């Protein structure tokens, strides 16, 4: 399936999409080329607006602080990279040869920046109503998941605070497998040299959170 089909928008100005997928390493190698950094800046603002509007309209029970926590979570670099992988952006980004050779297509920061740039391009090509439909289609489920418990601390933070009293520090080992558009990750968390939990997810963050959750369950059982 093409990127435009996955986005649900066919560009009237395809040059905008090409620009959104042009990494700054390309312009570094060839100063005559433009890159996606300006579109990334615009896309970040558009994403913030659409997500904020979605939270305001769909979740009237959430207070300002809760909405801020949900928004911060769903527009984080990890979530942006996760969305990028569902769109298979890694295989569409134009990179300099050197960046490509060092695994640039799988780098979280590059994927996150690219998805923001694509949102900026959709906004310029189709306007606010259109980009709102695209963002809601990609983010609504993530917002809903986070909005259920906006004030609950994530498992990694809870685990870190739980073991700090013992002088321990969680160490995560993460491995990925599968193509960019269907990437899977597995994680193991080690405490004081011993494996305490493992988990899987569509992103490194999800896998680490699952591993931290299992480690907390093990700790709770051990200390009963």
Q: Which residues are catalytic?
A: 44, 116
Q: Hey, CA dihedral for 179, 147, 113, 98, is it positive or negative?
A: negative
End-to-end distance of the chain based on CA atoms, in angstroms?
51
> What's the alpha-carbon Rg for the chain, to the nearest Å?
19
Task: Please report which helix (H) or strand (E) contains residue 39, including its range.
Answer: helix 37-58
The 3-state DSSP class for residue 103 equals coil
Beta carbons of 196 and 219 less than 8 angstroms apart:
yes
Q: How many residues does the chain have?
A: 224
Residue pair 11/134 in contact by the 8 Å Cβ criterion: no
Tokens of 71: 């928004």
């Amino acid at each position: 399936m093409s990127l435009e089909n996955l986005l649900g928008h066919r560009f009237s100005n395809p040059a905008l999409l090409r620009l959104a997928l042009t990494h700054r390493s390309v312009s570094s190698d060839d100063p005559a080329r433009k890159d996606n950094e300006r579109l990334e800046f615009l896309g970040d603002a558009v994403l913030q607006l659409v997500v904020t509007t979605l939270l305001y309209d769909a979740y009237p029970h959430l207070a300002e602080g809760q909405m801020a926590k949900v928004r911060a979570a769903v527009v984080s670099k990890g979530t942006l990279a996760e969305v990028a992988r569902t769109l298979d952006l890694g295989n569409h980004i134009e990179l300099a040869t050197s960046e490509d050779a060092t695994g640039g297509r799988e780098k979280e920061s590059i994927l996150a920046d690219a998805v923001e740039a694509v949102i900026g391009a959709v906004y310029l090509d189709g306007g606010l109503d259109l980009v709102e439909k695209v963002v809601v289609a990609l983010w609504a489920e993530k917002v809903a998941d986070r909005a259920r418990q906006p004030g609950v601390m994530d498992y990694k933070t809870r685990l870190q605070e739980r073991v700090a009293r013992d002088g321990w520090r969680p160490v995560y080992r993460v491995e990925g497998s599968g193509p960019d558009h269907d990437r899977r990750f597995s994680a193991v968390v080690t405490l004081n040299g011993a494996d305490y939990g493992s988990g899987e997810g569509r992103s490194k963050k999800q896998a680490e959170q699952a591993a931290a959750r299992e480690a907390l369950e093990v700790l709770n059982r051990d200390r009963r």
